[in-house]
Homo-oligomer: A and B are copies of this chain.
Amino acid sequence: MSREMLTIDGLQYSNWSRDIFEQMREGGLDAVHATLVYHETTRETLSRLGEWNRRFEAHADLIIPVHQPSDIARARSSGRIGVFLGAQNCSPIEDDIDMVEVMRDLGLMIMQLTYNNQSLLACGCYEAEDSGITRFGRQVIREMNRVGMVIDMSHSAERSTLEAIELSSRPVIISHANPATFHPAKRNKSDKVLKAIAECNGLLGFSAYPFHLRNGPDCTLTEYCEMIARTADLMGVEHLAIGTDLCQNQPTSVLDWMRNGRWSKDMDYGEGSASNAGWPRPLTWLKDSRDLPNLIQGLRNVGMNEDEVAGIMGCNWVALLERSATPQASNTDWAA
């Protein structure tokens, strides 16, 4: 039986504005995983949440917060875009295990354990070596499992990713990356990692950030959708989704913040280089959320049936959140 089409973008970090929310509606977006922070401390994260509260107030006709998976259906039935928030780094909890539940109570549904560099929890994909999940990291994984905060390993290194999957009692995701076999970027993932994500009943969101694509900004829609079809053979189509990594209208100062945070006196160019320091040229077939229907057609064109397309475009995200972003059945599990 074919499910109703649902469109969820599993990662965006735009310079949010009414124009962008209107583009989302025009593109048929039902919900979006919006990045709340990159390197912000606990206190700074509260200010970013405050900014979202203002947006929810100012644009209440267009957007509505998603704190539980079921809120996505409520958003859809009210004709609005549900926004669920995620952190690209563990900076919001600083060194404090108690901040996991506090942040979840405030609506942080997803958190990456690392962003490129070593964190207090795990290792990022830009470090020379990865010694896996730390002592603090083990406790945080258990606590995220308990309160229903989804573990995202998009920017983590391989060993840390595999260990997080092993340690977590709930599915782990990669919200925005591609198979390394498609394009061998540091941020893309080996088949070993992708299989482990599928085996834990997790999710991979395919990135449309040009640095993660074969031929960069010249990657075609067909190449992108063929990559998805091939990955379905590896992971099972129910574990696939979209995480465009759209960063609209952001100044390069935001790119510098993502790459350098406060940790580097030298300029770190991340996936770019000194001669290619800015934002990559956007894809012609995915300039903003209005182009999301291109993906629906592209997936059909590579032979996906309607149920598979509905899963990849959004239903798989809802199912994942139901598995990973709800409170754990019983707190007695904690003592077990």
Contacts and interface: CB of A to CB of B under 8 A. Distances in A.
Nearest to A142: B265
B120 A136 contact: no
Interface string A208-228: 000000000000000000000
Identical copies in the complex: 2
Given A129-B132, A132-B129, A135-B126, A265 B118 contact: no
Contacts of A91: 95
A118 B39 CA distance: 18
B264 A139 contact: yes
A130 to B, nearest CB: 6
15 contacts: A91-B95, A94-B94, A97-B265, A98-B262, A117-B120, A117-B135, A118-B134, A120-B263, A128-B131, A129-B132, A130-B131, A131-B131, A135-B268, A136-B264, A139-B263
Given A117-B135, A127-B134, A129-B132, 14 more contacts: A39-B95, A91-B95, A94-B262, A95-B263, A97-B262, A97-B263, A97-B265, A117-B134, A118-B134, A118-B135, A118-B136, A123-B131, A127-B135, A139-B264
